[in-house]
Structure 1
């Protein structure tokens, strides 16, 4: 597994409703964090230009639009997003193995045709806002949330994806099921000094890294801080300290 610096392990969630605020925040973090996450709200407000602008500023982009449709449609979407040179994008594991396989293959084919790096394709398991009762009583999936996530991770690996998005509480089970090289992208990360907000299954950066997380997605703890750069540096220090303790 490639060793990464603390700055490469953190994705900042640019959960803004306009491009100006997102780029302003990214500019303030430019010398601290390498990858920005662009989600549905910002992408639909700004369009693909936000991807180009972030790349021009020197950032990698995690495109977080969670594709979930018939295999042919998702393959087309994967082809399109790959043409923008994103570092990573995600699809819903619930779409099935064939959908995920087509997504990854479309990304490989387009990247090779353009002579660019193949983006990492990540499967979304259960959202960090999904509680046990929501999964069982509302969505209609029986069993334990953690068991569902691990089952989804196995399907994603079978389809050839690079890893999954999951709660930090499932990292150990995913590593046992899929191996340490299978990536885990962990949202719901909250430093001890930040509020949980609307995510139910959360972890601190230290807890997630000690469990074996590959990447940490952090939003409001940085973007809503009075001094976002200072907050990012504080988290980077915590990550660095955690890695020192792990090694």
Structure 2
């Protein structure tokens, strides 16, 4: 998991995914399946990607009462995804229930999927957090609080922006995973993301993994863009 570059397959259907992956036939990728693709294609898309040899982050961001989340995680554990997530805002009891569900649902002899918690979305600004969530503490303090609760719940790590990685590292240790979306190479448009960072910044901050979507999936040359970002993330000099 550490030092992973995760490609966000934010596509409407399997056909588009298959077309996108054609240039990557020689690559074993770590890919993210989000709500749009999963709701369109169902569990079969995870099975397809695993059959192609890719690792899968199933990004459904569960947030419900503990019993419902536990039951859902039992089902998700059987799909073969390598990592799943919940919203830390659901609370410690919910996060503990998610982990229990994964452990129950994982087949004997298999490793349970990693489970991480979303802290504050990278599309959320400090002003939005205060106005929409009525959270008055600084944004970084909110992220660290959620990260601590996730660690106390037994989860493997969190989703956060690269700007909060060093804070989490110093407070929770190097073994706690930090998965960072909102990654944009220098000169790329931010889109709907607010707390963005370059691959190099995320690398130097000590991030465990980065999630990259549009800079690769909407590139005119996806494979070339992938390698450019991968080299920057892994510290390969250009």
Tell me if TM exceeds 0.5: yes
What is the match of residue 239 of structure 1?
233
Range moving further from structure 2, 158-167 or 191-200: 191-200
1:46-195 aligned within 5 A: 46-111=41-106, 113-195=107-189
Q: Paired residue for 2:195?
A: 201
* Separation in structure 2 between the aligned mates of residue 110 and residue 214 of structure 1, nearest angstrom: 26
**In 2: Cα distance, 1:33 partner to 1:128 partner:** 27
What residue is the counterpart of 2:14 in the other structure?
19
Offset at residue 67 of structure 1 (A): 0.2
Match of residue 28 from structure 1: 23
Structure 1 residue 21, shift from structure 2 partner: 0.5
Aligned CA-pair RMSD: 1.5
**Aligned-residue offset at 1:33:** 5.1
Structure 2 residues without counterparts, runs of 5 or longer: none
Q: Secondary structure at the residue paired with 2:129?
A: helix
Q: Which has the higher mean CA deviation after the structures are superposed, 188-197 or 92-101?
A: 188-197
CA distance in 2 between partners of 1:219 and 1:33 (Å): 17
Q: Distance in 1 between matches of 2:183 and 2:175?
A: 21
TM-score (norm 2): 0.95
SS in 2 for 1:117: coil
Structure 1 CA distance for aligned equivalents of residues 212 and 24 of structure 2:
13
Q: How many residues align?
A: 237
Contact 1:83–1:110 (CA<8 Å) still a contact in 2? yes
The counterpart of 2:40, out of the listed 24, 42, 45, is 45
* Conserved? CA contact 1:29–1:232, under 8 Å: no
The answer to whether the 8 Å contact 1:32/1:232 transfers is no
